Structure 1
């Protein structure tokens, strides 16, 4: 059975929540949302999902509990939440920018703003989803630090590193992590059809690439059925990450 690039991305996002236990999953974006729901239906049944506002919901969307703002903050500041955010820029140590491009005092482009990125990254595990892997996103130095990377957290000391953890970065080309001695970014797997050299060329800094890079794991038949028939029957995932050759693929410079 043929597996689409978007489905490998869903699997890679879902794997971010493996073995997390009873934590609040906060996926931002379509493919991370499908991934979180897939993880809860399969290998991470203790995950907590919300309606995006103030309720905890079950797999069918029914209300399971109330999550007032104070409860949400308790989960965030105690490391009991795992968020998957986006990034307009990200560097080798995981510093993330979603605020502006160019000098912050006079930016060439205004983006979302800092939002909750500092709190997220310093207080609970934070992964990233980037639908178009390119040198515009993977940069040598971010124009403004919103999400805190490993180097800046270490420089700030124990108060910043207590709950700070960046488990993975998932893109339309690959899965990356920070499993290196200095916590710089490493290529963990490539999606089938992608080579390590393609990832290197689409990255604007020196990326650690092991001698042997595995492929992102295949979805099981059960997972494919859930993705296609239950979680995303309209195939919206393919709009975000089209298959290579469809005329709308990501990657590159």
Structure 2
């Protein structure tokens, strides 16, 4: 592979590592990079991972990104929408969602910006975020790491953060994993606070500090790993030959 590794491809393997060794669980991937990551994990470190076409089928071999089950891939089973709620409640699912806002404890907002009685921006709504965060592991993907996303206080709590889970007496199945962004991989310390696990190649601690609306510990941060040759081939030739990943994380000169 002589072509230079892109930031999008670094993010793809960081997302794939989210499902490393996850076992036989349904991968819920929201966004292009999470979808690339889930497929990559299935083809490498997590062969038992269950993938969906995003609608009503489980896929043993999903089609390349941008195509439907009718355009390729191998359908494993049909899953009506009502069954998804049973899977969520059973904990046999691992979700990687987006976040319009997220605070230092991992409280997530995808519903609105501003006062909920008269919001300045209406977003997609609470959706399944509460159920996800109290029933199974939930990770987040942020394509634009900025102070508008990483805020002191979210305008509305959709996904439950560590502080709220503890205040409720400890939610038995509450499990926040990591936050992958276009700059870094973040995780939670023993105190429940977000901290930097790794910086993507070429990213500095100062860049992450400027792009975060609260103080975050960067001590001990490593460098996010690069994809190996097998992973690069799968990303470029099998999973995302149309390079849709670069719509979320563009190649910069």
TM bracket, shorter-chain basis: over 0.9
* Corresponding residue number in structure 2 for 1:221: 229
Structure 2 counterpart of 1:83, from 83, 87, 95 = 95
Counterpart of 2:30 (choices 28, 31, 34) is 28
Conserved in 1, the CA contact under 8 Å of 2:140 and 2:179? yes
What's the CA shift for 1:23?
0.5
- Are 1:191 and 2:191 an aligned pair? no
Moved segments of 4+, more than 3 Å: 68-71
Report the equivalent of 1:121: 133
Which one is further off, 31-40 or 235-244? 235-244
* 1:206 corresponds to: 215
Deviation string, structure 1 residues 130-167 (Cα, Å, up to 9, x no partner): 10000000000001001110001111124xx2111111
Query: What is the RMSD of the two structures over their aligned residues, measured on CA atoms?
Result: 1.2
Question: When the two structures are superposed, what TM-score results if normalisation uses the length of structure 1?
Answer: 0.92
- Structure 1: runs of 5 or more not aligned: 246-253
Shift of 1:65: 1.6
1:94-243 to structure 2, matched below 5 A, reads 94-158=106-170, 161-178=171-188, 180-210=189-219, 212-243=220-251
Structure number with higher strand proportion: 2
Correspondence 1:11 to 2:13: yes
Please state how far the C-alpha of 1:181 moved relative to its aligned partner.
2.2
Counterpart of 1:41 (choices 33, 40, 43) is 43
**Deviation by residue 1:26-70 (Cα, 9 ceiling, x = unmatched):** 101111101100000001001001121222111242111232345
**Normalized against structure 2, the TM-score is what?**
0.92
Give the Cα–Cα distance (whole angstroms) in 2 for the partners of residues 204 and 213 of structure 1. Answer: 19
Alignment coverage as a number of residue pairs: 241
